[in-house]
Amino acid sequence: MKIGIVGAGRVGCACALAVVVRGSARNVVIVDRTRKRAKAVATDLRYGAPLCPKTTVIDGDYDDLANAALVMITAGINEKAGGATDRNDPQGRLRLLDTNAEIYRDIVPRIVRAAPRAVILVVTDPPDPLADVARISAGHDRVLSTGTFLDSLRFRVHLAEHFEVDANQVEAQVVGEHGVSQVFLWSSARIAGVPISSLVRERGETLDNVREQVENSVRYANITIIEGNDASQFGIGIVTARIAEVVLRDERAVLPIGSYNDNFGVTLSLPSVVGRN
């Protein structure tokens, strides 16, 4: 099956690399406003592709997205360029919304004309309100955002580091928005089935202190990464590849990603069954 990636910046490249290395799709099309850049990225990936599961990578324009099962959108201004790197700013990634919404209103109709049945995966920050913009522009509900999937993984990693265990043994989720108002589900967080609250007591710690430390690390992980490497890209790249696999294979997996919620009238992340439809 085919995946399209619109936007060949740092995040788009990370998404493309993850898709190729994991073998998430048989065909990948990279689209960028600068065709020369899309061609360079696709060519670079093709040189390493023989060492990966069978994947064909090409550059293209919007028409080349025809018959894509899923299209990721990574285009837009990023956090550093958009001034969304202040830990004390209550808006956080929402500062990027107006600029990126205009970009989406231009991009999404082009995607829909080329691939009317494709699931649209919003990766650009802030992904949840941009998913609402995309849904309106697309005229259908087959729109997902990466939501709090990455935040949930960050939550697991920081809990694993605190308790000195493998992150694969940690069950923990973040819900709500991919932003400063995200909600950590501490009551259901567990390591190998044991509640975090019990483990905290056994270590003679207080849950409040652990919560403050872990939540700050997760909530501002993007800024910490940007301060060292200008952009948060590799984690979200792997996340998008995994979401693509779940959709293309109709896995019906439960993931904390963003979808439109009729009860609240917005896109937000809750544990959701994800598949092709």
Token couple for 84: 């969304």
Please give the average per-residue pLDDT across 51-73, as a whole number: 98
Q: What is the pLDDT of residues 181-190, one digit of tens each?
A: 999 999 999 9
What is d(CA 96, CA 231) in angstroms, rounded to the nearest whole number?
14
Counts of helices then strands in the chain (DSSP H, E)? 9, 13
Q: What is the pLDDT of residues 204-249, one digit of tens each?
A: 999 999 999 999 999 999 999 999 998 899 999 999 999 999 999 9
What is d(CA 58, CA 29) in angstroms, rounded to the nearest whole number?
5
Closest CA to 11 of 87, 91, 77: 77
Based on the fold, state whether residues 197 and 143 are members of the same structural domain: no
Instruction: Name the percent of the chain lying above pLDDT 90.
Output: 91
pLDDT at 80 (0 to 100): 84
Average pLDDT, the chain: 96
Does the pLDDT value for residue 60 go beyond 90?
yes
CATH number for 173: 3.90.110.10
Q: What is the pLDDT of residues 94-143, one digit of tens each?
A: 899 999 999 999 999 999 999 999 999 999 999 999 999 999 999 999 99
Closest CA to 179 of 151, 144, 141, 200: 151
pLDDT at 121 (0 to 100): 99
Identify the active-site residue in 140, 158, 162, 178.
178
Based on the fold, state whether residues 9 and 142 are members of the same structural domain: yes
Token couple for 131: 């998913």
Q: pTM for the whole thing?
A: 0.96
- Number of domains the chain contains: 2
What is d(CA 252, CA 260) in angstroms, rounded to the nearest whole number?
17
Does the pLDDT value for residue 14 go beyond 90?
yes
Instruction: Name the percent of the chain lying above pLDDT 70.
Output: 100
Does the pLDDT value for residue 24 go beyond 90?
yes
**Quick check: is 140 catalytic?**
no
Based on the fold, state whether residues 121 and 180 are members of the same structural domain: no
Please give the average per-residue pLDDT across 1-13, as a whole number: 97
pLDDT at 86 (0 to 100): 81
Whether 33 maps to a domain, the answer reads yes
pLDDT at 114 (0 to 100): 98
How long, in residues, is the chain? Answer: 277
Spatial contact of 172 and 152, defined as CB atoms under 8 Å apart? yes
Residue 164 CB partners (closer than 8 Å, separation 6+)? none
pLDDT at 93 (0 to 100): 87
Domain span at 104: 2-147+232-252
Based on the fold, state whether residues 17 and 103 are members of the same structural domain: yes
